Amino acid sequence: MNEASQLDINAIMLRLPHRYPFLLIDRVLEYVPGQRIRALKNVTFNEPYFTGHFPHRPLMPGVMIIEALAQAAGLLAFLSADEIPDNKARFRKPVEPGDQLILQAQFERSFKGIWRLATVAEVAGEEVAHAQMMIAPDLKSAPVAQSLGEEP
Catalytic-residue membership of 53: yes
Nearest CA among 62, 60, 31 for reference residue 48? 60
What order do you get walking across the sheet with 126-135 strand by strand?
Answer: 89-91, 126-135, 114-123, 101-111
C-alpha to C-alpha distance for 127 and 137, rounded to whole angstroms: 27
3: left (phi over 0), alpha (psi -120 to 50) or beta: beta
Residue type, 111: F
C-alpha to C-alpha distance for 120 and 103, rounded to whole angstroms: 6
Terminal alpha carbon distance of the chain: 32
CA distances from 73 to 39, 89, 117 (A): 10, 20, 19
Q: Tell me which residues are annotated as active site.
A: 53
